[in-house]
Amino acid sequence: MLADKIIERKDLALIRQEADQDDFRIVFTNGCFDLMHSGHALYLEEALAQGDILVVGVNSDDSVRRLKGSSRPIIPLRDRMLMLAALEAVDYVVAFDEDTPYELIMALKPDVLVKGGDWAPAEIVGSDLVLAKGGVVKSLIFKAGVSTSLIIEKIKAGLKDGT
């Protein structure tokens, strides 16, 4: 059931505890995931391949507005979370209202922290926490020419052209 994959921040410690008991590696990533596209799907599959459990942090609507501007998000938080939960690669989805997922990373203590290839590992928020506990921080694939911002611009351009 999709709703079972959507968790609260308070659940992160339990997920960490269960992963430790089963000797599973937790992978964490985050993003706005405003308009889902093939780049997201490929990226999340590669993220899961780095461990056993994939937890995805999702920016709240207010957080997206602060980061991307008043016209975003296009898709409300609950719908974005349901879309992510529908993906086989994703085990858990958790929202955060801050501008970064630092607090989530502190609570979860993932073994692996990943972001898209447009991020250098040293720039990834929470890398200090993960590296300090002996974890891994990686930049994964980045599908060039595919991004939510580019899709939105293409739609806007089409509307202006009447196509």
Distance, CA of 10 to CA of 20 (rounded, Å): 17
What number of other Cβ atoms are within 10 A of residue 60's Cβ? 17
What number of other Cβ atoms are within 10 A of residue 157's Cβ? 10
Distance, CA of 129 to CA of 7 (rounded, Å): 22
Q: Domains of the chain: which residue ranges? A: 2-161
How do residues 46-88 score in pLDDT, each as one tens digit?
Answer: 999 999 999 999 999 999 999 999 989 999 999 999 999 999 9
CATH number of 2-161: 3.40.50.620
Distance, CA of 93 to CA of 73 (rounded, Å): 17
How do residues 108-133 score in pLDDT, each as one tens digit?
Answer: 999 999 998 778 888 999 999 999 99
Establish how many alpha carbons lie within 13 A of residue 21's alpha carbon, considering only the half-sphere containing its beta carbon. Answer: 6
Q: Are 24 and 17 in contact (CB under 8 A)?
A: no
Distance, CA of 66 to CA of 50 (rounded, Å): 30
